[in-house]
A and B are shown apart, each in its own frame.
Chain A
């Protein structure tokens, strides 16, 4: 049903085609988090891959930065409605992390964990085959603390709450376990093109 008197500011066709439903384009890079920015020191930084409760591989910051680096330029979409085009990241793909960790066939579900206690679940198939990385650089610079530095998960094709900031580990789980926002009513997958914002969407 049309809203009386609303005509809107339509994006151009070119922009509109790249915007998932309900999103608008921004040139800013809004910052969202559930709490303060944690103070993560590089000399104590660790990134750990777990199979269930069992750690299978772990890297210091120095060791992590020896892993092969990949660049990804993608559009990103936040559940709070903004989208940002052509964001350029570099980091280590989840494929390369799994190869280094010697995990050939991870389980179907993954929980990403962060230094601030945040977690988010992502289907493993959304992380592999070049779709996701642990990013350490944004637009050629180390990721700033407000945006999740020193390292964040980047899953650009899902709503951005899945791209956990201040990430410190990936845990492969046997069932789909809800993370921080998913426990609070957000969608278990979060595909922007299907507008999977909340439970039941």
Chain B
């Protein structure tokens, strides 16, 4: 497991504060990206998340955690990509109610393990299932700003073409960034799609991603729903990636 140098600086105390919604974009039919400007923000480390707290008029509150998808870029804003969950409580509110100019209560940044800073070096192997792409996108975007020479491969898996968040940006980065390789796969897409394979993540896809790197990955980040993370971890371990170099973050049951 990781040791002290990997630990991100944490605020002494995480205080709830108001963040203003400054932009909303629909990334896919089921994912909206919210750009928030927290009132008091001192930056974050790629891979971290924030907690969101919503309060009803009678004082009832709901809290959820969301990964930051944007790079730590000094803009004083952060992007959250929120998946619509049909019978959910918080994501339908974000999708159906929240407008630019609203204020949302949040605190953060949170998380001192599933993070990456340029000085830790690479190569990097990033493996994302669905909305598990969000914290890895932060790492990928940050790397392009801070250390574009660090070799990086991203495997990302979505069910359908229409679920593929940040598709155009990823294809563009793969075309323009000489040290970044993209391995996208669509598990339930019946027709061929530009830039993506069909099928689930498997050992062959992992081998292809590893072959794109000039050396074994120093750190492998895996994020997604548990069955995806479990499968990806197994392929990674079977490919000889050391246990201690794999960081995982799992969503949902």
Contacts and interface: CB of A to CB of B under 8 A. Distances in A.
A40 to B, nearest CB: 12
A8 B56 contact: yes
B163 interface: no
Contact of B1 (A9, A26, A116, A199): A116
B80 to A, nearest CB: 15
A35 B243 contact: yes
Contact of A80 (B12, B54, B65, B104): B65
Given A6-B97, A31-B253, A199-B10, A185 B248 contact: no
Contacts of A4: 97, 102-103
A139 to B, nearest CB: 15
Given A199-B10, A199-B13, A8 B253 contact: no
B43 interface: no
Instruction: Say what secondary structure dominates the interface of chain B.
Output: mixed
B54 A146 contact: no
B236 A36 contact: yes
Interface residues of A, number: 40
Contact of B248 (A35, A80, A201): A35
Interface in A94-128: 116-118
B149 interface: no
Contacts of A41: none
B93 A30 contact: no
Given A4-B102, A9-B89, A183 B112 contact: yes
A6 B54 contact: yes
Nearest to B9: A185
17 contacts: A2-B56, A2-B57, A7-B56, A8-B62, A22-B63, A26-B253, A34-B248, A35-B246, A36-B248, A38-B243, A118-B1, A146-B230, A180-B1, A184-B7, A198-B13, A198-B14, A200-B12
